[in-house]
Structure 1
């Protein structure tokens, strides 16, 4: 057993060429980050176009139904605010500057870690809250639109909307979990690189 312990000690005492390892690690992490940012920008552009269409529909509904109750206007205003906050949150999670605009690589990494934390928050906490708040806005909308309707119409509207939102939440869990894991893995890689550089 003694020769093995000696060999192990020799192996541990070897000096590694850290500059090569750190440069290679930095290149891999930065390339991964750049690819991730491109995907995020593309996704946010599609989301922005979809939300712009929703804003137009909300504006059309608002103008084509004058003299409605407070529930109607509160629901449309709530949906508009919710969509705006969602877009702002997802765009805040995108890093627009490249490494050369920062004073140091560590500063660049720190900024990207903050952006990844925002993205993780949006995926993990905000999206479920968004769905619940959207459902509440739709309930307010139905309270005005379905006033005076038959009870069965109300039950169908509320029930189907609730089932739809619950389905969206349930079936999007896997994708969100993968996105959260990818974001967390990237953040941990950046943390490791930052530790190596400091």
Structure 2
């Protein structure tokens, strides 16, 4: 059997600081996101949603992050504060992938979170397939209650990641990858 696995074999993250314009156009983004939500979903719960951040919204988000950061750590250096302000401004598009957990479901929460994580990874794969670059980031903002409130998340929702999308501005070398032989075992009774 001959199958083309090059998408999986070559995909790599592009650091968000190295992503610039253009982002996927509206038609490409729509197709990318429609493909990305076709993930394994035990119980057909659709335990995820997406929030799009572009343009001035990213600047405003960064300003609010900086305000939260300085409130949480008044001793924060100006350099670190500036990093918080600018963190989401490099890539032209940021998709926030949100897990929407159904507590009343028989499907364990971990499976629901993995479903949402598959959406984030599918966005990475799809972006690469379309010729764009992407990076899935979390950081403290993904786990902060004030940030969750700022994003309008309900109590049962959690940020899975911020997927930064754009066009690579530099050639990004692939990183060293693990050797399959060191990870694979065979179970036998």
Give TM class, smaller chain: under 0.3
Instruction: Answer 1 or 2: which has greater strand percent.
Output: 2
Q: TM-score, with normalisation over the residues of structure 1?
A: 0.24
The structure with more radius of gyration: 1
Q: TM-score, with normalisation over the residues of structure 2?
A: 0.24
